[in-house]
Amino acid sequence: MMNNPSLIDEIDLNNLFDHLLLGPLGRMEPLEQTLFRIRFDLYMPDVLRPLAKLYGGRPDFAAHLENLLGIVARAYAGRPEKLRRLDLRRVNEPDWFQQPGMIGYVGYVDRFAGNLAGVKDKIPYLKELGVTYLHLMPLLKPRPGANDGGYAVMDYRQVNPAYGAMEDLRELATALRHEGISLCIDLVCNHTAKEHEWARKAVAGDPLYQGYYHMFPNRAMPDQYEMTLPEVFPDFAPGNFTFQDRCQRWVWTTFNEYQWDLNYTNPAVLAEMLDIMLFLANQGVEILRLDAVAFMWKRLGTDCQNQPEAHAILQAFRALTRIAAPGLLFKAEAIVSPDKLLPYLGLGTATNKECEIAYHNSFMVLLWSSLAERRVVLMTHALQNMPDTPVGCAWLAYIRCHDDIGWAVRDEDAAAVGLSGFLHRAFLSDFYSGRFPGAFARGMTFQHNPKTGDRRISGTLASLAGLEAAAEQQNWRETDLAVRRILLLHAMILAFDGIPMIYMGDELGLLNDHGYLDDPNLADDNRWTHRPFMDWCQAEQRHDWQTLTARIFQATCNLIQAAKRTLNLHAQARCYAVWTHNEQVFGLIRASAWGRLLVLANFTEHDQTVPRYRVHDMGFAGELVNRLEEQSLDSWSDLKLEPYQALWLEQVPED
Ligand code: GLC
């Protein structure tokens, strides 16, 4: 649908607002109504622009718009008082999530603490680590049996009964907030489980709900789409469409056969999802991780990812939710190439109008690539070629997540530093699956795609960084190096632009867990190898100085505390990679009005040196202090880095 400016001009905002006053908004205090009106006036242009793009050509556009605003007004009226206060606070402190103290932690409710009440009991542990942002993996009611780790939701308004009830979620959100921790949960907005009520009605033949999904009477259209569609799970879910016997239709299923893609060409779907978002926000959820957003719009002849309309959908959600719950943040899960990724943070006219946070998949991949190669040339080049992060946003900087690692190294970047993209990706797969001679990693191949040669990797941080291999060999030097790698990677995500995210158990060095093989619902998906159960016995050892666990945990805490003290790590500080004149040492500068920070990181198991003149050239003269250890360095010697050591250097201010 084309953008339709005349349509926007035709909308009478005063009339729309008066109409809203007839509903629950009309029963609110005048001050609350005024606040709503201010936001309504502020954000309506941002609401109308993407909606006109998506649905502007429909004769029923005005009715859909009214419906959406009704949802917004009802959610606002139903928003608990304490959350409305939080909104005001967030609006007055818009950089709250960009501040250096933000430390993320992610895990599964059951694997971390049994259930939601259990998570509440673990708040002291999270505080000890310094966490301020907790992402709990999918926790809404999933389909029974295999459910892709909860990413097949059958009811968005109920919590997974194994974890508790909605009341427990509210209580947990409140308890976390009192301790300064913001709760993030997944919202699977690209697809539902085939057991969701909408899907069941669609299967039963209800045309209204058939319009919620992409359904085809025969293979004609699916075959045309398939010509340009990639496969996400070529191993266990090949193809993108599944035949449904009962309704004799082919259904779009990008992921597993039980995950049905929603059809956002239908404005009713957008309205349903908006209602769910605001419902969750009103339970006290502060950040929604919007799952698989790249796939939300389909277009024939393309890979059906990153379509302009997918961005318009996010922008519409953004503007509409800002009216009712401006404190709510969006985190985009778009695991796409760097050039496709940036628009999820809002570019050009969409600046600050899409998602505030997005996974920095490239940085994650480049960290692993540098570690395997013992060279930082590709990482430096690739990062230097990424545009600046838009203002008002934050990357999610992570070492690994619950998903596999796919080697998203661009051919152009590889070629620019003398590598073949294809061969380098093959090398990384070999290295991290432990096949490459001498490799320290013990990962597993996930979804080998013979058509493209892609081999993704599963594994925990510790196993990929060498701790498992070192334990097998009972080799103390290797153990020491593995611990150093773990800490180096943590120092990197803490120093990078945005919110660092620690995966549950990585702070203790948990190894790959093969227990999933005993569960038939999990056994074919080796991503479960790096989603271990929290080992609370091992966690107990974190205070016993003689253990490896304590070494990893305490050093991670120290890194986190250093990050909290370092103002230059604010997400608004510029972040750029620099050449250090040593191909084994990565250099990163964070620069802001607070000053400048030089991060140096040795990606090898050998001592390295960075010449002092190079450090001077980068604008760091005089006495420097390493913020990681609060220790001063003299003003003249070359900088020495131990194996896998990171330095966070700031100039000591002259009095
Ligand atoms: C996201 C999730 C992944 C899941 C997929 C389908 O990519 O991170 O775990 O399989 O979406 O929901």
The mean pLDDT value for 203-228 works out to 97
Q: Which of 27-31, 394-398, 618-622 has the lowest mean pLDDT?
A: 618-622
Does residue 655 register a pLDDT over 80? no
Does residue 440 register a pLDDT over 60? yes
Alpha carbon of 182 to ligand 1 centroid (Å)? 22
Confidence band for 84, pLDDT divided at 50, 70 and 90: very high
pLDDT of res. 9: 75
Confidence band for 5, pLDDT divided at 50, 70 and 90: low
pLDDT of res. 223: 98
Q: In this structure, which residue's CA is closest to atom 10 in ligand 1? A: 148
Please check whether residue 214 lies inside any domain of the structure: yes
Alpha carbon of 110 to ligand 1 centroid (Å)? 18
Does residue 470 register a pLDDT over 60? yes
Please check whether residue 227 lies inside any domain of the structure: yes
Coil, strand or helix at 343: helix
Confidence band for 206, pLDDT divided at 50, 70 and 90: very high
| Tally of structural domains, the chain | 1
Q: Which of 7-21, 59-73, 473-487, 508-522 has the lowest mean pLDDT?
A: 7-21
Spell out the residues 6+ positions from residue 30 whose beta carbon is closer than 8 angstroms to its own: none
Confidence band for 4, pLDDT divided at 50, 70 and 90: low
Alpha carbon of 190 to ligand 1 centroid (Å)? 10
Q: Which atom of ligand 1 is nearest to the CA of 335?
A: 7
pLDDT of res. 175: 98
Please check whether residue 103 lies inside any domain of the structure: no
Average pLDDT, the chain: 96
pLDDT digits (tens, 9 = 90+) for 190-201: 999 999 999 999
Residue with tokens 């619902």, as numbered in its chain: 521
pLDDT digits (tens, 9 = 90+) for 304-345: 999 999 999 999 999 999 999 999 999 999 999 888 999 999
Spell out the residues 6+ positions from residue 575 whose beta carbon is closer than 8 angstroms to its own: 389, 496, 497, 588, 589, 590
Please check whether residue 176 lies inside any domain of the structure: no
Region of 215 please: left (phi>0), alpha (psi -120 to 50) or beta.
Answer: beta
pLDDT of res. 1: 39
Percent of the chain with pLDDT over 90: 93
Q: Which atom of ligand 1 is nearest to the CA of 527?
A: 9
CA 633 and chain centroid, separation: 37
Instruction: State which residues form the domain around 210.
Output: 191-261
Catalytic residue among 87, 110, 186, 291: 291
Alpha carbon of 292 to ligand 1 centroid (Å)? 6
The mean pLDDT value for 585-601 works out to 95
**Sheet of 585-592: strands edge to edge?**
574-578, 585-592, 595-602, 646-651, 624-626, 631-633
Please check whether residue 116 lies inside any domain of the structure: no
pLDDT of res. 622: 87
Whole-angstrom distance, CA of residue 505 vs CA of residue 553: 10
Whole-angstrom distance, CA of residue 395 vs CA of residue 356: 8
CA 63 and chain centroid, separation: 34
Alpha helix (H) ranges present in 353-410? 361-373, 377-384
Q: In this structure, which residue's CA is closest to atom 4 in ligand 1? A: 151
The mean pLDDT value for 391-402 works out to 96
pLDDT of res. 6: 65
Catalytic residue among 186, 275, 333, 650: 333
Please check whether residue 432 lies inside any domain of the structure: no
The mean pLDDT value for 537-560 works out to 97
Does residue 68 register a pLDDT over 60? yes
The mean pLDDT value for 402-426 works out to 96
Alpha carbon of 650 to ligand 1 centroid (Å)? 40
Please check whether residue 557 lies inside any domain of the structure: no
Residues with CB under 6 A from ligand 1: 148-149, 151, 188, 255, 291-292, 333, 402-403
> Which CATH number characterizes residue 243's domain?
3.90.400.10
**This prediction's pTM:** 0.97
- Would you call 291 a catalytic residue per the annotation? yes
- Would you call 519 a catalytic residue per the annotation? no
Pair of tokens at residue 193: 């489980």
Q: Which atom of ligand 1 is nearest to the CA of 255?
A: 6
Please check whether residue 200 lies inside any domain of the structure: yes
Percent of the chain with pLDDT over 70: 99
